Amino acid sequence: MTDRDNAVTTTRQPPNLRSGLADTLMAQIESGDLKPGQRLPTEQAIMRTTGVSRTIVREALATLRAKGLITTRQGLGAFVANDPTPRSFSIIPNDLQSIDEVLRVLELRMGVEYEAAGLAALRRTPEDLGRMQARLDALDAALEEGGYGAQEDYAFHRSILVATQNSYYSRLFDTFGNIMVPRQWARLDKMTVTERKRHAARMRREHHAIFAAIRDGDEAAARRAIRSHLSKSAARFEELRDATNPS
């Protein structure tokens, strides 16, 4: 076994295996333990030192490639990029393989949207309000039909960022796309008809409260409403996580 084969930390990975391995490799690249141009351990060596499957190793390496941290050379393996700095910050679909990752995204959203909602309440124009109302109506219709409303939900939240009159907010949201509303974890198909109706009513109520505060120009209320909405979303995901993994 070579020193290169030992380069990856031997700590066994937590339940979210792909994310855990990707984070381990990313941390070693960012700290300089794995240097620019350095060849990574073989898939077999990573499997042996971490205890994960070949599939998990390949998914983790794919994540690092997508972030611009490594390159691969046919027949030679994977190498740390010469400039191992992500080209841009992004959240890719593979990043949301667990509810814990979804919760981290919600934390990020809360930080961004809390301030954005307050600014939107102060700066919104009649055109902004018309756009937000249209997005809200579309979300209501999607929920009424029993759908996820992920696209409509994303569009409504983006319209709030546009109303800040600061294009950096909406541009940041555009970096992520509608993955910011991870519908794959909503599990509507597991709900009874009554539960789905309650879910739809709750979603409509929370979004209407956000819109009303911004429409009325109430900065504090807008911030409270968006924080309440995202906090309740996080609580629902935590309940789902605990129900899925009771241990």
User: What 3-state DSSP class applies to 112?
Assistant: helix
Helix orientation angle between 99-123 and 167-176, rounded to the nearest 10 degrees: 160
Domain boundaries, the chain: 4-80, 93-244
Q: What is the pLDDT of residue 106?
A: 85
Q: What CATH architecture does domain 4-80 belong to? A: Orthogonal Bundle (1.10)
pLDDT digits (tens, 9 = 90+) for 32-55: 788 899 999 999 999 998 888 989
The third-level CATH classification (topology) of the domain covering 93-244 is: Four Helix Bundle (Hemerythrin (Met), subunit A) (1.20.120)
The mean of the pLDDT values for the chain is 81
The owner of tokens 């995204």 is: 105
d(CA 46, CA 7): 9
pTM recorded for the entire structure: 0.62
For residue 77, what are the β-bridge partners?
Answer: 73
Query: For 114-148, what is each residue's pLDDT tens digit?
Result: 999 999 999 999 999 999 999 999 999 998 887 77
Which pLDDT value is given to residue 1? 46
